[in-house]
Chain A
Amino acid sequence: METKTKITGAHAFMQALVAEGVDTIFGYPGGAIMPVFDALYDYDKHLNHILTRHEQGATHAAQGYARVSGKVGVCLVTSGPAATNAITGVADAMLDSTPLVVITGQVGAALLGTDAFQEIDVVGITQPITKWAYQIRRSEDIAWAVARAFYIARSGRPGPVVLDFAKNAQIQEVDFDYKPCTFIRSYLPVPEVQPNQIEAAAALINQAKKPFALVGQGVILSNAENELKAFLEKADIPAAWTLLGASAMSSDFPLNKGFLGMHGNVGPNMKTNECDVLIAIGMRFDDRVTGDLKTYAKQAKIIHLDIDIAEIGKNVIPDAPVLGSAKDTLPALTAKLNPAKHTEWIASFAEYEKLELEKVIQREVYPESGEITMGEVIRRVSDATFDNAVIVTDVGQNQMLAARYSKYSQTRSLVTSGGLGTMGFGLPAAMGAKMGAPERTVCTFCGDGGFQMTIQELGTIMQEQIGVKMIILNNHYLGMVRQWQEMFFDERYSFTNMQNPDFVAIAKAYRIDGSEVHKREELDAAIADMLKDDKPYLLVVNVEKKGMVFPMVPAGACVTNILLGD
């Protein structure tokens, strides 16, 4: 879209958003952004603005939206406290490589640096946690800055961009002429595939007897799910996924051997230290995956495929780095692979699967007596949604168990705060996910703690009638912290016990349907009631108070040092 007319900066801004294909904005108005909100009033046919109840909610909603749709999530908030409230979501998006454009209002350029009302240094504060942060001080810069912001947010390894929009620039008139940005000379988002790197990696894989692949979010971000499958199938390579790589492979894919890391499956962790070639694809060797780096996969040749050169060698030094987008590098690598079979190696995962089923899964997912467990609720919801739902989690036990026991039949099905581990993420992210994938069922699992961190978003859900299915796994504890206190702090339960409100009554006050389950027999009927239509619903399940997440590799331990809790 190219136009050339004299309009206000705020209107120019609206046109720029429309030109970038934006259709949904999560925001909250206030003094320094009022001219933009005033212009938004004229754009209600193009831009669906969702009024959240807190700016943090707006950022997490935009994250949820971006994660399921692959589009850039957009937030619009005012200056000062609104900007600082938005910081958590910006930081979360930075660590989880989520494309966001967050627009904050700012005092007029003449007042900058004077400690004016609701003035803070947004660019200064957000620079360490953004891909790019820029202050628009003149309306002439709007088209350029918006085009650049969207290009940077979505290209290469995605991430958040903050545009700090001075009020005078919102008001001044400008000749508006919009051109999308496709090139920045100091920024090369997708490195070219280097044939010599492909050759070296292929040679290692072709010699491997016990290859093992680690699948990260890079596969999802580059839409390389099919390329991944072709790669794994050609050389018969078993694979496991990181938290953010969940659903890149469907749960029933035969080479999918499960979840990596601290609360991952036993097999993938053990096999990390047994394989002869480890192929990391679009993942960053986070400490929650590797445990102690000194003992991590020392026996293996390591191949690391990543789009970000700064990730190569950051934590684990690869024998064969492969720089580029997985969308390009995987097919290039597959072409050089000899078809192979690793039947015995793949079959060797089974003994760990059996062990984990007996020692951990049986008790957590299929208990026959005692209190309700989190794992069984999660699996029953997965079953009832035919493994097709988008699962959004909060942070803690609910998150680890939801990642473990949900099944995934399609990509972009787990939305979770992996890097930052933000409690309070679940509820607003689920709203955004439902907006981004309205045709899908969206279920969010929250603990009683995290749910109360952003509980006010029930107001947004009520107003917009966003059909999210909210499940509170209520154990009256900050469960993961309690688990650590039990295991590592001598059972000194320092401030982890919670007296909770009647959550269903709160939902009712927001005119949202809900029910509460105390007994196992009530669970299936309540889940069916929750899923009967596309309306918002709150299901509170009272689960065992002292439930634990196992298996567990203690922080900083070797990946084979897995506690089963038996």
Chain B
Amino acid sequence: MENTLYTITVFSENTVGLLGQITIIFTRRNLNIETLSVSPSAIKGIHKFTITLLSTEEVVSKMVKQIDKRVDILKAYYNTDEDLVFQEIALYKVATDKLFEKGSVEELIRKYHVRVLEMNADYVVFQKAGHYEETQQMFEELKETVGVLQFIRSGRVAITRSKVERLSDMLESIQEKFEKNQ
């Protein structure tokens, strides 16, 4: 079966060892994480994981259930690229002299919507936000033309297109149900 890139979103309590609990679910099934990004969410005390994975829907759906099942996980779901607005960010460090040998950087900046974060006599640091293919294309071009001293790309961050249930609403309804049953 053809593999598709899935984005798994996980909301969790901010407890020690949570990342380990999630990654062992991948390890056990011999699945390789493509990208991973973890940060505090909009709600205080809740962390958000964005994980991308090349796999089949059958595998991803079962795995997301296993993640969701862990006690400290509030919610886990998965999407394909069509359901998402997503972005990655990349930083490129190139040698200043090489860059100037090439001549103008205007074309590069216009073509890739690049920001310059730092510039000195030794090196220049560019920043580009975009999809994987876009940041990769710029990397290839810089490598060919001036060489790249350092390159780093972030994990994916993503927002769903559909009107999904908001986590804060979900938490409220959980709390309400609990209080009703007391």
A residues touching B (Cβ–Cβ < 8 Å)?
Answer: 123-124, 127-128, 131-133, 135, 152, 182-188, 308-310, 313-314
Q: Which of B13, B71, B171, B178 has the most CB of A within 10 A?
A: B71
List, sorted by A's number, 15 A–B pairs whose CB atoms are closer than 8 Å.
Answer: A127-B20, A127-B21, A127-B24, A132-B72, A135-B16, A183-B178, A185-B74, A185-B171, A185-B174, A186-B71, A310-B62, A310-B65, A310-B68, A313-B62, A314-B62
Residues of B within 8 A of A187 (CB): 71-72
Residues of A within 8 A of B17 (CB): 123-124, 127, 133
Residues of A within 8 A of B20 (CB): 124, 127
Question: In the bound complex, do residue A152 and residue B71 qualify as a contact, i.e. CB atoms below 8 Å apart?
Answer: yes
Residues of B within 8 A of A309 (CB): 65, 68-69
Bound Cα distance from A152 to B16, whole angstroms: 18
Residue of B nearest to A157 (CB): B69
Bound Cα distance from A187 to B68, whole angstroms: 9
Bound Cα distance from A124 to B21, whole angstroms: 9
Residue of B nearest to A185 (CB): B174
Residues of A within 8 A of B74 (CB): 185-186
Bound Cα distance from A185 to B21, whole angstroms: 18
Bound Cα distance from A184 to B171, whole angstroms: 11
List which B57-113 residues lie within 8 A (CB) of chain A: 61-62, 65-66, 68-69, 71-74
Q: What does the 1/0 interface line of B126-166 toward A look like (CB < 8 Å)?
A: 00000000000000000000000000000000000000000
Residues of B within 8 A of A182 (CB): 182
Bound Cα distance from A31 to B165, whole angstroms: 50
Bound Cα distance from A296 to B65, whole angstroms: 23
CB distance from B57 to the nearest CB of A (A): 12
Question: In the bound complex, do residue B71 and residue A185 qualify as a contact, i.e. CB atoms below 8 Å apart?
Answer: no
Residues of A within 8 A of B13 (CB): 186
B44 on interface, CB distance cutoff 8 Å: no
Q: A185-B175, A186-B12 are in contact. Are A128 and B24 (CB under 8 A)?
A: yes
Question: In the bound complex, do residue B66 and residue A310 qualify as a contact, i.e. CB atoms below 8 Å apart?
Answer: yes
CB distance from A125 to the nearest CB of B (A): 11
Bound Cα distance from A135 to B171, whole angstroms: 26
B residues touching A (Cβ–Cβ < 8 Å)?
Answer: 12-13, 16-17, 20-21, 24, 28, 61-62, 65-66, 68-69, 71-74, 171, 174-175, 178, 182
CB distance from B138 to the nearest CB of A (A): 39
Residues of A within 8 A of B16 (CB): 135
CB distance from A321 to the nearest CB of B (A): 12
Bound Cα distance from A89 to B178, whole angstroms: 33
Question: In the bound complex, do residue B174 and residue A131 qualify as a contact, i.e. CB atoms below 8 Å apart?
Answer: no
Residues of A within 8 A of B65 (CB): 309-310, 314
Residues of B within 8 A of A152 (CB): 71
Residues of A within 8 A of B62 (CB): 310, 313-314
Question: In the bound complex, do residue A188 and residue B68 qualify as a contact, i.e. CB atoms below 8 Å apart?
Answer: no
Bound Cα distance from A211 to B61, whole angstroms: 29
Additional pairs, 9, CB under 8 Å, beyond known A128-B24, A183-B178, A185-B74: A127-B17, A132-B72, A184-B71, A185-B171, A186-B72, A186-B74, A308-B69, A310-B65, A313-B62
Q: A124-B17, A127-B21, A128-B24 are in contact. Are A188 and B71 (CB under 8 A)?
A: no
Residues of A within 8 A of B178 (CB): 183, 185
Residues of A within 8 A of B182 (CB): 182
5 cross-chain pairs, A with B, having the tightest CB-CB distances, nearest first: A310-B65, A186-B74, A187-B71, A132-B71, A128-B24
Residues of B within 8 A of A123 (CB): 17
Residue of A nearest to B20 (CB): A127
CB distance from B152 to the nearest CB of A (A): 28
CB distance from A173 to the nearest CB of B (A): 24
Bound Cα distance from A76 to B6, whole angstroms: 43
Question: In the bound complex, do residue B28 and residue A128 qualify as a contact, i.e. CB atoms below 8 Å apart?
Answer: yes
Residues of B within 8 A of A183 (CB): 178
Bound Cα distance from A182 to B17, whole angstroms: 23
Bound Cα distance from A131 to B71, whole angstroms: 7
Bound Cα distance from A133 to B16, whole angstroms: 11
Bound Cα distance from A152 to B24, whole angstroms: 20
Residues of A within 8 A of B72 (CB): 132, 186-187
Bound Cα distance from A84 to B53, whole angstroms: 33
Question: In the bound complex, do residue B69 and residue A186 qualify as a contact, i.e. CB atoms below 8 Å apart?
Answer: no
Residue of A nearest to B182 (CB): A182
Bound Cα distance from A309 to B76, whole angstroms: 13
CB distance from B33 to the nearest CB of A (A): 16
Q: In the complex, which of the residues B28, B66, B174 contacts A188, with contact meaning CB atoms closer than 8 Å? A: B174
Bound Cα distance from A135 to B15, whole angstroms: 11
Residue of A nearest to B27 (CB): A128
CB distance from A463 to the nearest CB of B (A): 37
CB distance from A55 to the nearest CB of B (A): 23
CB distance from B176 to the nearest CB of A (A): 11
Q: A124-B17, A124-B20, A127-B20 are in contact. Are A186 and B73 (CB under 8 A)?
A: yes
Residue of A nearest to B64 (CB): A310
Bound Cα distance from A131 to B72, whole angstroms: 10
Bound Cα distance from A314 to B20, whole angstroms: 23
Residues of B within 8 A of A314 (CB): 62, 65
CB distance from A228 to the nearest CB of B (A): 25
Residue of B nearest to A183 (CB): B178
Bound Cα distance from A252 to B118, whole angstroms: 82
Bound Cα distance from A401 to B39, whole angstroms: 54
Bound Cα distance from A314 to B64, whole angstroms: 12
Bound Cα distance from A327 to B74, whole angstroms: 25
Residues of A within 8 A of B69 (CB): 308-310
Residues of B within 8 A of A310 (CB): 62, 65-66, 68-69
Residue of B nearest to A123 (CB): B17
Residue of A nearest to B174 (CB): A185
Bound Cα distance from A187 to B182, whole angstroms: 16
Residue of A nearest to B74 (CB): A186
Bound Cα distance from A313 to B114, whole angstroms: 47
Residue of B nearest to A189 (CB): B71
Bound Cα distance from A124 to B17, whole angstroms: 8
CB distance from B58 to the nearest CB of A (A): 9
Residue of B nearest to A184 (CB): B71
CB distance from A395 to the nearest CB of B (A): 23
Residues of B within 8 A of A135 (CB): 16
Residue of A nearest to B175 (CB): A185
CB distance from B43 to the nearest CB of A (A): 11
Bound Cα distance from A184 to B69, whole angstroms: 13
